[in-house]
Copies of this chain bind each other. A is one copy, B any other.
Amino acid sequence: MPDDSPIRIVIADDQRMIRDGLDLMLGLIDGFEVVAQAADGEEAVTAVAAHSPDVVLMDLRMPVLDGVGATERIRRDHPRTQVVVLTTFSDDAEVLAALRAGARGYLTKDAGAPEIERALRRVAGGEAELDPGVQKRLLEMIPPASGRAEALDALTEREREVLRLIGDGLSNAEIAARLYVSESTVKTHINNLFTKIGVRDRAQAVTFAFRNGVMS
Residues of chain A having any CB pair with chain B under 8 Å: 75-76, 79, 96, 99-102, 104, 122, 126-130, 132-133, 135-136, 138-139, 141-143, 145-146, 166-169, 171, 199-207, 210, 213, 215-216
A-B contact pairs, 11 of them (CB 8 A): A75-B145, A96-B216, A99-B143, A128-B133, A128-B138, A141-B142, A169-B201, A169-B207, A201-B202, A206-B210, A207-B215
B142 pairs with A99, CB closer than 8 A: yes
The 6 closest A-B pairs by CB, nearest first: A169-B204, A127-B132, A128-B135, A206-B206, A128-B136, A202-B203
- In the bound assembly, the distance between CA atoms of A136 and B126 in angstroms comes to 8
B206 pairs with A76, CB closer than 8 A: no
A169 pairs with B199, CB closer than 8 A: yes
B207 pairs with A205, CB closer than 8 A: no
